[in-house]
Chains A and B, each alone.
Chain A
């Protein structure tokens, strides 16, 4: 089942020079995308999840980003590739859809034109053929009466329909990887369910890999086979979806899971927020980026940068944390049993947090 990865991101760093200083949007990120599987990248605003994906397609180059590291796709390093070659991959083998389908579609062009454009950019076919393909695509994504609706403008569609149009556009050239950046955040929950189901069905039919970027733990639980959790420009944990929810080993992941109200948890149970605020990306905290908000941080966590390591030799569960895997598992068990962080620390026998 574990084939060769389709996409390998290796130690990607992306920086932007701004008036206030250098923003370290992505600070050494490594992950893989496997064919036919869905990778969920979870993080909040400022985690770098969107910048990492935009960089994959070279879309951050225009903003004067300084990029280092490698992004390997079919034997080529996308970071080093000139834009003319990268453009043949964009919208072709790797496609991307974005959060707000109303602002992501050109308001003044009919969607038929926007769809055929996507086809004609990469295939040498006649306009008539491209239009046929566009109608076919609209049908696949569940737009009723596609032959007629192809001549409508974006504002004549509802939110859910517009996102289907975006998906159709992304599929125009049979991509191997579909990157979906918060595809359902702007949609109602029933429409979200439709769109997620559509994406799953399309993945089954066409076998493409999906990278879904979101802050919604529910969405990622449903869609993702593997999950990478990002915080302040770094990946703090990556594992199969099952593992991330049943046996997470990073305090930030714990914080995320415990701070969201879920339908399957008892009502009235208090939410445990992560204290503090997201860090500045211009002057990120020294050492472990999460230590100022971590209840379990030790003094040297402010000095040492944790590296993303497997929890046990050969494991596919990677965590970037300076605590030992054994300590972490015990802490999580204590938290699951209902103890507060301070109690859990005492139980496990860690020194009191000083952060």
Chain B
């Protein structure tokens, strides 16, 4: 994937990545440019003045190509969930723009915003609190139809809902049961059914399996992949678990303190990560193989700085083992470093350094 001046995100080239490139046409479904969201912090004795801001998302640009699964990974405070909500316009950006199918949705309101909801949907992390406990799952899944005035005939609506239930692996006869009668994994399936009711083009999954048991996670992940194939979905998959993201996604973006530090096809990003933070993340993941034990790991010191007061220029320079003076002065742009990913770093990692960190890297 090569970036050129006219095509900074390398969209033009159709790259074989992970064997799923056949479904992506390279055309962008969602375009995000310089997206920013600052949450004001107020203080003051009598009157609240804005004294600062939590820079949750601070200038993020990426595309989501039609048919692909884009993963966004990062730790607490990196802004991945906020980014997802901005793309779906559940929040309004402080700056920057979001385009959906070419149309600028950054400041959409009212009816137009509602129309967007038919095309872009979300499933949430906590299956226990994201379903209204007072509604039957039938009415929960039917709600999108009701809100958008579709399938007005009761019978047709019920049939549509039951078909959806079957598709996600639920028993259609449980139409009149309540959420508390289902397990976590099943509730997540209900959430998926609800999100897919209107056959959206874009599905954003915000940590969809983090709250589930390991044996159920695999079921829900497989379901998501199946649904993507069946509905021709474009998926943005947000998680903190690098192994899950690698498994599910064609391309992956790594976020740190409100910015994307590296983005690229899964094979390239996991095979030869260039950004020191990506390297640190991969090095930190415990591998289910005891023979890995004793591998040398470079541990990051300290904590993530507060998004209210992020470091200057390169956000990672305060914890980066490779930081030089230039890093605190000059904010590195996302650029191609010749290894398949776009990286925002003045001193990207080398094979030797990755070796030292215990991260196996492909040539």
Contact = CB atoms under 8 A, between A and B. Distances in A.
**A–B in direct contact per CB < 8 Å:** yes
Interface of A: 44-45, 158-161, 188-194, 196-197, 215-222, 241-242, 245, 255-257, 259-264, 267-275, 277-278
A52 B222 CA distance: 33
A267 B282 contact: no
B75 A189 contact: yes
A271 B215 contact: no
Given A190-B280, A267-B246, A277-B183, A272 B288 contact: no
Given A161-B303, A261-B243, A188 B76 contact: yes
Contacts of B267: 267
Contacts of A268: 18-20, 247
A236 to B, nearest CB: 13
B353 to A, nearest CB: 17
B297 A261 contact: no
Given A192-B284, A221-B290, A273-B215, A263 B243 contact: yes
Contacts of B284: 189-190, 192-193
Contacts of B247: 261, 267-269, 271
B195 interface: no
A264 B303 contact: no
Contacts of B287: 218, 221-222, 262-264
15 contacts: A158-B303, A159-B76, A160-B303, A188-B240, A197-B297, A216-B214, A216-B286, A261-B243, A262-B243, A263-B282, A273-B217, A274-B215, A274-B218, A275-B219, A278-B183
A259 B286 contact: no
B300 interface: yes
A334 B76 CA distance: 41
Interface in B277-300: 280-293, 297, 299-300
B286 A218 contact: yes
Nearest to B219: A273
Given A267-B266, A277-B185, A221 B214 contact: no
Contacts of A257: 288
Contact of B217 (A219, A259, A264, A278): A259
Q: Give chain B's interface residue range (CB within 8 Å of chain A).
A: 35 or more
Contact of B360 (A241, A264, A269): A264
A220 B288 CA distance: 7
A90 B300 CA distance: 34
Nearest to B213: A44
Nearest to B306: A158
The SS class assigned to the B binding surface is: helix
Contacts of B113: none
B323 interface: no
B243 A259 contact: no
Pick from A160, A193, A216 the residue with the most CB of B within 10 Å: A193
Contacts of B222: 270-271, 273
Contacts of A194: 299-300
A143 B86 CA distance: 37
A274 B222 CA distance: 12
A191 B280 CA distance: 11
Contacts of A271: 218, 221-222, 247
Contacts of B293: 221-222
Given A160-B303, A192-B284, A260-B218, 7 more contacts: A191-B303, A217-B214, A245-B288, A263-B246, A264-B287, A269-B247, A273-B215
Counting from the closest, the 6 A-B pairs by CB-CB distance are: A218-B286, A273-B218, A261-B247, A259-B218, A193-B284, A188-B75
B42 to A, nearest CB: 20
A290 B9 CA distance: 50
A160 B299 CA distance: 13
B215 A256 contact: yes
A268 B217 CA distance: 16
B311 to A, nearest CB: 16
B116 interface: no
Nearest to A188: B75
A254 B217 CA distance: 15
A255 B216 CA distance: 11
A252 B75 CA distance: 31
A289 to B, nearest CB: 14
A278 B218 contact: no
A156 to B, nearest CB: 12
A44 B292 CA distance: 23
